[in-house]
Structure 1
Amino acid sequence: MTIRRRTLALAAALAPSVARAQATQGWRPDRPIRLIVPFAPGGSNDIVGRIVAEAASQTLGQPIIVENRAGAGSVIGTEYVARAAPDGYTVLINSSQSTVPAIVARVPYDTLKDFVGVGVAGFSPHVLVVSPRLPAQTAKELVALLKANPGRYNLATAGIGSGVHVAAELFRSIAQAEVEAVHYRGGGPSVAALVAGEAQVGTPTMASSIGQIRGGGVRALAVLSEQRSPALPDVPSAPEAGLPGLIHEEFFPILAPAGTPAPVVAALGAAFRGAIQQSTEKLLDLAGVAPRAGFDAPEQVMALVRDGVERYTAILRAAGVQPE
């Protein structure tokens, strides 16, 4: 082996340790970090949070413990983080961060001012699904069935203010069908209700439903995106399914309490970005989530959240939905 080859080999071997050192050179935790998921286990935030927490903990040198604090469409867990000490030991992952202020009248925290951006775990479209017991085999058949039976069927959401709720309202508006929205305590319970036949229609996140879709627990009629998803290549896009306006995807911002020192935010951001890059294949395979570049700075993360608030508010007001 030449000197050059030995040097390259040594550099490759040292790369992970160098990355860890650079990621935490300004701050390094000395006790476990809690990643708050404001939904019940089994939903998209829970699945994505656990994937990235495992990899980020290796960089930070401390466990990242995923803690589920469900309730009120993510408001309970999110408020808990907003009120937590801004020391880097409590962070949040919440795909409903932008939807809550669009649909909940009295939010006990400021969606933007009470948080600082750490990173974005990725983006994923929602899916239009039905219980296998429902005879509809296509989206067009589903709309016809709902219109012929107004008020007979239930549409499961992950709670008031959740992204699933926004997708459900968008579907009801576009389909012009009377279907009763039933709010569950998270994406996992809402999908479980569809599998059990307790609810018949759903617009869950891909992360919370992809396992049941592949296993036949629910039937996917459309992916709510302009193109098909590589995670579910056999499921038509919304335009292909005859519902071109039914486009809705979720994103997973990772946030810390406002006032968290910049070196701490930088170290957390570097660790989570590395974890996301390391887990790209796993995120797509297990959750249908695809990372995107461009969210390295806290300001970029919060700008995405702010844009989401404006977009989801416009969707809901157009559908005639007012804050409750």
Structure 2
Amino acid sequence: MLNRRAALAAPLALAATPALVTPGLAQPAWRPDRPIRVIIPHAPGGGTDVVTRVLAEAVGTALGQPLVIENRTGGAAGLVGTDLVAKSAPDGYTILVNSSAQAITPALVSRMPYHAVNDFAGIGIIGFAPHVVVVNPNVPARTFQELLALLRANPGRYNLASGGIGSAIHLAGEILRASANVDFQIVQYRGGGPSMLAVLSGEAQMSTPDIPAASSVVRAGSARPLVIAAAERSPAMPDVPTSAEAGLPEFIAEIWFPVLAPARTPPAVLATLSAAFQTAIEQNKRRLTELAVQVRPNFTTSDQVMNYIRAQTERSVALLRAAGVQPE
């Protein structure tokens, strides 16, 4: 088994990472003639849902057809919705916007109904956002150091609300538990939105959502942010210290939002979809920045998107095995 600390230090940024694929076609040959179905395999209110809806209108305008968004939850980390897209016709009319769960789920589910890489074609990655540790305001910890002290003094007493087995929140929670060497219960909810509601109600004391999912409740004062799992502060939460500033530099976790089509989708279709998402990202870059979503360049092919997913899947396996988590 890999050394826990070594695994946590494993390539957290395995490649400088993508914005969206923009293949070199001056005028893509394919244009949709009916609405595009977009499957989000996570609950409404989570980071993936928020980011997708920010872009949806602009993507539809660029394509000349609207996006019809469906939240298809169920199974570990959105297995149901992701499997639906994997088995859909490769014609461009059913696509997936997922989270880092695309690469995490294979590390946690022993019998996958689809292959996270081979059954998909890359359209792009919208961007990347760090996770943040938030607590219910009634938790007697005003800083991250105070939270760690509380957890160490009360092993197993506190609950962390996760967005489901294999979700990005789950992985962030496991990284926190392993890097800080603290003991708490991870309680699985059916998506990022429900997990945040559990924290707001006090049913769970803390969570590790991505910043897009946490921003609104933090602004409202309904949850207290203690630390950002990143090396640099976020413009969305400029007063919240980073994990390095808080004395735990190994606690690094970010969510990313891949846009995928079924495998064997024609290159011309991928090019049109990719160009539309790129246009939408450029038009909404300010809004994405407000949500702490960083757009990263230098992805130009579907293969590069899928290679990133493959590498992140390997990293997730290493991290979770080092934390003692086995697939079920």
Q: What's 1:299 paired with?
A: 303
Normalising by the residue count of structure 2, what TM-score does the alignment of the two structures yield?
A: 0.90
Q: CA RMSD in A?
A: 1.4
Q: Secondary structure of the equivalent of 1:84?
A: coil
String of CA shifts for 1:103-128, please: whole Å, max 9, x gaps.
Answer: 21111100000000001100000111
Q: What's 1:323 paired with?
A: 327
Contact 1:157 1:182 in 2 (8 A): yes
* Identical aligned residues as a percent: 52
String of CA shifts for 1:38-94, please: whole Å, max 9, x gaps.
Answer: 011000110111112221100000000111001121111000000011100000011
Normalising by the residue count of structure 1, what TM-score does the alignment of the two structures yield?
A: 0.91
**Structure 2: gaps of 5 or more residues:** 1-24
Q: Does 1:132 align with 2:137?
A: yes
Q: What's 2:37 paired with?
A: 34
Q: Aligned AA for 1:48? A: V
Contact 1:159 1:185 in 2 (8 A): yes
| Deviation for aligned residue 1:296 | 2.6
Paired with 1:184 and 1:276, the residues of 2 have a C-alpha distance of: 30
Q: Aligned to 1:117, which of 109, 122, 131? A: 122
Q: Does 1:246 align with 2:283?
A: no
Contact 1:154 1:181 in 2 (8 A): yes
**Structure 1: gaps of 5 or more residues:** 1-21
Q: Secondary structure of the equivalent of 1:299?
A: helix
Contact 1:139 1:242 in 2 (8 A): no
Q: Aligned AA for 2:71? A: N
Q: What's 2:82 paired with?
A: 78
Q: Aligned to 2:104, which of 99, 104, 128? A: 99
Q: What's 1:211 paired with?
A: 216
| Deviation for aligned residue 1:244 | 1.1
Q: Does 1:65 align with 2:105?
A: no
Paired with 1:275 and 1:245, the residues of 2 have a C-alpha distance of: 34
| Deviation for aligned residue 1:24 | 5.9
Q: Does 1:226 align with 2:231?
A: yes
Which structure is larger by alpha-carbon Rg, 1 or 2? 1
Contact 2:119 2:262 in 1 (8 A): yes
Q: What's 2:56 paired with?
A: 53
| Deviation for aligned residue 1:255 | 0.2
| Deviation for aligned residue 1:23 | 7.2
Q: Aligned AA for 1:294? A: N
Paired with 1:138 and 1:311, the residues of 2 have a C-alpha distance of: 29
* Greater relative contact order (CA < 8 Å, ≥ 6 in sequence): 2
Q: Aligned AA for 2:305? A: V
Q: Does 1:159 align with 2:161?
A: no
Q: Aligned AA for 1:33? A: I
Contact 2:161 2:196 in 1 (8 A): yes
> Following superposition, which runs of at least 4 residues in structure 1 exceed 6 angstroms of deviation?
none
String of CA shifts for 1:153-193, please: whole Å, max 9, x gaps.
Answer: 11001100011100101111122222111111111111111
Higher fraction of helix: 1
Q: Secondary structure of the equivalent of 1:97?
A: helix
- Stretch moving more, 31-40 or 142-151: 142-151
Q: Aligned to 2:276, which of 265, 271, 278? A: 271
